[in-house]
Structure 1
């Protein structure tokens, strides 16, 4: 009946809050130590590498620079982001340091379904399991999610580690502000999208137009092609 189906769905959930999913496929991860000078962009680092951070934190390497100063030993300047708090910061490793890296199974494709009570619901496109991610974890990505949008999700110990959105998506313009046609250097104007996000658009964009926007920073790309 309806109750039994609900119970089955509940068992198939993978929760970002830490609950176990008895029927969900388990992704195995392992931690390995590598030399700091071999770190690659996109790597996930354990909290044991970063003094003063929460022990359960995980960091993604956004960028790195190898530096050889005139005096002293070589080091690697890393730009890291806390995958849960989205805190972006710099950290320096000596080139000879051993850094603990978290290795994961490949991400899986998922489809965004809906948001309810502060939780985003996705469907694993392979297993059809329901994946739940707390809204606080997706503070940056959440506003750009759309019904049916396909994303990629990585898990670590059955918790969502990262939800990767498409590079860009199209949205309807709900409001636009006035543009200054007399100022040749001012070729855009403010606009509000259907999701409530404020962006800048060219002067020719009007209310009701669909525009393509980058999902990482809200930058206007182009007008969307008519369906």
Structure 2
């Protein structure tokens, strides 16, 4: 058991008898009310999200999380395919589990996959990723008085 104030993004909890992963946590202290913790959770079994509120003194049951290092292989219409480098088993994850990291996945990239109750629930991307810029607009000559920014397209298709 842990205090609701100790909830963090990525933790697995048991809520209403179902295991869930915490997606977002906000600590709120309204002026004339008691402090509370507002969290967005995703149920592991159904994949549905819910907005829940805990009192600051409430206790939450934690679920054990297992971490596995997997390598990204490829993406197709079935989902994102990852390989375990030790056993060579392939795991297919749906886009909702990948999140914003999908724009930075390149072949053979190692990521941490979080498992709760034997099911993959979330991935953790590395802190930095080396990507190639495949297309960029030309800079204008003489436009050096300030910081020049221009759009660039990465090898994954994301434009930054």
RMSD between aligned residues: 3.3
Q: Deviations for 1:158-181, whole angstroms, at most 9, x for unmatched residues? A: 321111121221222121124354
8 Å CA contact 1:109, 1:126 repeated in 2: no
Please report how far the alpha carbon of residue 104 of structure 1 lies from its aligned counterpart in structure 2 after TM superposition.
1.6
Q: Which runs of 5+ in 2 are unaligned?
A: none
Asked if 1:102 is matched to 2:102, the reply is no
Q: 2:120 aligns with which of 152, 160, 165?
A: 160
Asked if 1:59 is matched to 2:26, the reply is no
Aligned length: 157
Q: Deviations for 1:23-57, whole angstroms, at most 9, x for unmatched residues? A: xxxxxxxxxx43323334542234539xxxxx77x
Q: Which runs of 5+ in 1 are unaligned?
A: 1-32, 50-54, 200-227
Asked if 1:171 is matched to 2:136, the reply is no
Return the alpha-carbon distance in structure 2 between the equivalents of residues 83 and 195 of structure 1: 30
Q: 1:70 to 1:141 in 2, by over 3 A?
A: closer
Counterparts of 1:69-80 in structure 2 under 5 Å?
71-76=32-37, 78-80=38-40
8 Å CA contact 2:64, 2:117 repeated in 1: no
8 Å CA contact 2:75, 2:81 repeated in 1: yes
Q: Deviations for 1:167-197, whole angstroms, at most 9, x for unmatched residues? A: 2212221211243543634421111112110
8 Å CA contact 1:153, 1:164 repeated in 2: yes
Secondary structure of 1:148's aligned partner: coil
Q: Deviations for 1:86-115, whole angstroms, at most 9, x for unmatched residues? A: 97x97542112233432223x011111222
Report the TM-score, using the length of structure 2 for normalisation: 0.74
Determine the structure 1 residue equivalent to 2:3.
35
Return the alpha-carbon distance in structure 1 between the equivalents of residues 99 and 61 of structure 2: 27
8 Å CA contact 2:13, 2:63 repeated in 1: yes
Please report how far the alpha carbon of residue 153 of structure 1 lies from its aligned counterpart in structure 2 after TM superposition.
0.8
Larger radius of gyration: 1
Q: 1:38 to 1:194 in 2, by over 3 A?
A: closer
